[in-house]
Amino acid sequence: MLMTRATASARPPGRPRSGVNAVVFAATLSTVHELGYARATVDRIAARAGVAKTTIYRRWPSKGELIVDCLLDALGPVPLEGAGQAELMSSTIRWIAAKIGEPGIGDAFAGVFSDAVSDPPLRKILSARFQDPYRLQLQDALGEPENRVLFFIDVVVGTLLHRMGMTGEPMADADVAALADMVLRHFAGGADPGGT
């Protein structure tokens, strides 16, 4: 009952898609890394991937969705390590800080987030396909309610992206440590739970 291929029919007819998604993701990150988000046009990404622009638009309906899928592929699920809530939070913060520091990822992250601000459909996609899975995973692992986890994400990701956006560089380890320390104290200390 594996269903790796389909539910009803074995495979759809016609020429199958070539397996270039990974190549496109790699081309996306390296182009964003070298040229920045705005200058990483779909034309350039396609050229670097050795693929036609129309092929990209056949698979992803917009640049924003391409970036979202690329980030999901690059990040994967949170590697939950550690026993207690404090250790889980701390490792999560260090994990996402390291990921945002990897070439291309931070820029793509900030870029698609920026686009979403004035693009409500993209914002819904970003919220549903990107934030929600991590939120649910963290709600389970941390045993915290939705509003507290959303607050956690806002603080951690918001801070890291703001630093990246203002300086062009990822946050240094010492500041990441301070961020983790601040957040852990907040969630450990019982006062003012954060959210209605």
Partner DNA sequence: TAATTTCGCTACCTCAAGTATCGATACCGA
Partner DNA sequence: TCGGTATCGATACTTGAGGTAGCGAAATTA
59 lines the binding site for DNA (CB under 7 A): yes
For residue 53, the number of C-alpha atoms closer than 13 Å in the C-beta half-sphere is 7
30 lines the binding site for DNA (CB under 7 A): no
38 lines the binding site for a second copy (CB under 8 A): yes
What is the C-alpha separation between 71 and 65, in angstroms, rounded? 10
Residue range at the interface with DNA (CB under 7 A); choices 13-21, 75-83, 123-131, 134-142: 13-21
What is the C-alpha separation between 122 and 116, in angstroms, rounded? 5
What is the C-alpha separation between 175 and 131, in angstroms, rounded? 24
Question: Minimal CA–CA distance to 75: which of 44, 108, 99?
Answer: 99
- The one-letter code for the residue type at 53 is K
Residue of the chain from 17, 36, 41, 136 that contacts a second copy (CB under 8 A)? 36
Residue range at the interface with a second copy (CB under 8 A); choices 12-20, 51-59, 80-88, 109-117: 109-117
83 lines the binding site for a second copy (CB under 8 A): no
Question: From the CB of residue 92, how many other CB atoms can be counted at a distance below 10 Å?
Answer: 25
Residue of the chain from 11, 76, 191, 196 that contacts DNA (CB under 7 A)? 11
- Closer residue to DNA, CB minimum distance, 44 or 94: 44
Instruction: Output the CA–CA distances (angstroms, integers) from residue 139 to 1, 45, 121, 135, in the order listed.
Output: 30, 36, 25, 6
CB of 18 to a second copy, least distance (A): 30
Cβ(104)–Cβ(30) under 8 Å?
Answer: yes
Residue of the chain from 1, 10, 117, 174 that contacts DNA (CB under 7 A)? 10
What is the C-alpha separation between 11 and 110, in angstroms, rounded? 38
Residue range at the interface with a second copy (CB under 8 A); choices 5-13, 18-26, 54-62, 182-190: 182-190
Which does residue 97 bind out of DNA, a second copy, none, counting CB within 5 to 8 angstroms by kind? Answer: none
Residue of the chain from 50, 61, 103, 168 that contacts a second copy (CB under 8 A)? 168
Which residues form the interface with DNA (CB under 7 A)? 9-18, 20, 38-43, 50-55, 57-59, 61-64
